[in-house]
Amino acid sequence: MAARQGAGQGSDFMSAIDSVSTATPPSSTRPFDALSSDEFLRIMFTELSNQDPLAPSDTKEILNQIGVIRTIESNLALTENLSSIVQQNEVSAAGNLIGKYVSGRTTEGESVEDFVISVTVSRTGPVLNLVEGHRIPLKQVEEIFDPAIFGVAGQAQQPGQERSTGPRV
């Protein structure tokens, strides 16, 4: 029976496997779910370079593996695109709140309400900047009021100016 690996090639294959096995253990019951696309490709190319040329791997199996690689790469690209779209939608939604009266919790947990004067995009998402200097992350907004409904349109004063207590009814 022909040897599957040449003298020096076995250590290359094992080092590729060892580098993957020293990674953080996956949380799922399927160990290959944690492999990155690059790691999978490295293992596959190592396997192809170490196979016996007189008894090559099944062509159908290689095509299946290539299909898996393409699926993984497509999923990664799709995830990146969807994340970008979600971020753009959050920023757009936050921008639409400028001039609105909102209530919510600051990152410190303080309950505040005021008019939105601007939006800051942070690494954790959009943050609403209020007239009196408070900041509410978009994800922590509890209520939104349209000042036009309460006859207080254009009431967003500059910090320090006297104003009504807001549209609470």
CATH number, domain 97-150, options 2.30.30, 2.60.40, 3.40.640, 2.40.128: 2.30.30
Which stretch of DSSP H or E encloses residue 101?
A: strand 101-105
> What is the token pair recorded at 98?
């400028």
Confidence of residue 33 (pLDDT cuts 50, 70, 90): low
Closest by CA to 51, choosing from 60, 40, 43, is: 43
- How far is 147 from 153, CA to CA, in rounded Å? 5
DSSP-derived letter for residue 130 is E
Domain with CATH 2.30.30 in the chain: 97-150
Q: Give the tens place of pLDDT for each residue, 123-137.
A: 999 999 999 999 999
Q: Which two structure tokens, joined as six digits, stand for 127?
A: 């943050």
Q: What CA–CA distance (Å, rounded) separates 59 from 113? A: 65
Entry pTM: 0.52
